[in-house]
Amino acid sequence: MPPPPPPAAAGGGRRSILSFAAARDRCFSRRFLRAGLRPLAIPVPIAGADADAAATTVHVWVPANPPRNPLLLLHGFGASATWQWAPYLRPLIAAGFDPIVPDLLFFGASSTRLADRSDAFQARSVMAAMDAIGVARFGLVGVSYGGFVGYRMAAMFPEAVERVALVCAGVCLEEKDLAEGLFPVAGVGEAAALLVPRRPEEVRRLVRLTFVRPPCIMPSCFLWDYIKVMGSDYIQEKTELLYALINERQLSNLPRISQPTLIVWGERDRVFPMELAHRLKRHLGDNSRLVVIRNAGHAVNLEKPKDVCRNIIEFFQEPVAEALNDEKVSIL
Tell me if 83 is assigned to some domain.
Answer: yes
Query: In the predicted model, is pLDDT for residue 330 greater than 70?
Result: no
Give the per-residue pLDDT at 328.
52
CA pair distance 219, 221, nearest whole angstrom: 6
30 phi, psi to nearest 5 deg: -65, -35
10-42 pLDDT, tens per residue?
A: 333 344 457 888 899 999 999 999 999 999 999
Element (H, E) at 20: helix 20-34
156-175 pLDDT, tens per residue?
A: 999 999 999 999 999 999 99
Dihedral of CA 220/221/222/226: which sign? positive
Count of domains in the chain?
A: 1
Tell me if 322 is assigned to some domain.
Answer: no
Tell me if 4 is assigned to some domain.
Answer: no
CA pair distance 93, 68, nearest whole angstrom: 11
Determine how β-strand 288-293 pairs with β-strand 70-74: unpaired
* Least reliable range by pLDDT among 32-46, 107-121, 184-198: 184-198
What's the pLDDT band for 53 if we cut at 50, 70, 90?
Answer: low
Give this prediction's pTM: 0.90
What's the pLDDT band for 332 if we cut at 50, 70, 90?
Answer: very low
Query: In the predicted model, is pLDDT for residue 135 greater than 90?
Result: yes
CA pair distance 125, 110, nearest whole angstrom: 10
Tell me if 331 is assigned to some domain.
Answer: no
The whole-angstrom distance between residue 312's C-alpha and the CA centroid of its chain comes to: 14
* Domain CATH number, residue 156: 3.40.50.1820
| Enclosing domain of residue 224 | 20-316
Tell me if 328 is assigned to some domain.
Answer: no
Give the per-residue pLDDT at 243.
94
What is the average pLDDT value for the chain, to the nearest integer?
89
Query: In the predicted model, is pLDDT for residue 188 greater than 90?
Result: no
Tell me if 182 is assigned to some domain.
Answer: yes
